[in-house]
């Protein structure tokens, strides 16, 4: 199954969902077409699985790498670094996620909603601990996700290079203090 998923991630990100066939995936994975159907019903089911699995792995990595942070600010900083590191090793993730809005809008929406759900809980916890201002946790979660998303697009996708540490430091300064004098 891992070979099929790796090939599907690669081909969906290179050729797009609609230009990738099951035969393309199985050929790239070097498995018989029938092997595909042991694990998946159709192309859409591997697409859904891939998004769900990558999302779960991303959240696990962020949680693991920020587990020892003592403040929400530290966790946010480490979480952002973890997000960029994960995306750099799964560059096709952006392309796949963004294409999901045209393949199955519910998958696309669920990806962001499920990520935001945990984020909102963490923001509420930080607000209760007095670490963050009392603002709408859902709006904050989507703002923070948007910042990470577009910084990732700029450096990891458009520029095809690592997000510089100084950019992450500037983002965190913006998050902490805002941009207006």
Predicted confidence at residue 23, as pLDDT, reads 97
Alpha-carbon Rg for the chain in angstroms: 18
Neighbours of 164 (CB within 10 A): 10
Q: Give me 93's structure tokens.
A: 């993730």
Distance, in Å, from the CA atom of 65 to the CA atom of 167, rounded to the nearest integer, reads 19
pLDDT per position as a tens digit, 86-115: 999 888 877 899 899 999 999 999 999 999
Mean per-residue pLDDT, 115-139: 94
The CATH number of domain 48-177, selected from 3.30.450.40, 3.40.50.800, 1.10.10.10, 1.10.357.10: 1.10.357.10
Q: What's the pTM value of the predicted model, to 2 decimals?
A: 0.87
Distance, in Å, from the CA atom of 74 to the CA atom of 5, rounded to the nearest integer, reads 33
């Amino acid at each position: 199954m891992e070979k099929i998923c790796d090939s599907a991630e690669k081909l969906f990100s290179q050729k797009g969902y609609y230009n990738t066939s099951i035969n393309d995936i199985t050929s790239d994975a070097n498995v018989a077409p029938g092997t595909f159907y042991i694990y998946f019903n159709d192309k859409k089911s591997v697409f859904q699985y891939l998004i769900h699995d990558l999302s779960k792995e991303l959240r696990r990595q962020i949680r693991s790498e920020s587990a020892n942070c003592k403040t929400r600010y530290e966790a946010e900083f480490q979480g952002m670094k973890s997000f960029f590191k994960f995306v750099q090793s799964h560059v096709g993730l952006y392309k796949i996620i963004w294409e999901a809005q045209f393949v199955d809008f519910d998958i696309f929406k669920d990806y962001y909603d499920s990520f935001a759900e945990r984020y909102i809980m963490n923001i509420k916890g930080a607000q209760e601990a007095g670490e963050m201002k009392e603002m709408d946790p859902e709006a904050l979660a989507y703002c923070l996700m948007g910042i990470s998303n577009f910084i990732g697009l700029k450096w990891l996708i458009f520029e095809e290079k690592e997000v510089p540490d100084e950019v992450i430091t500037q983002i965190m300064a913006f998050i902490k203090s805002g941009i207006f004098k």
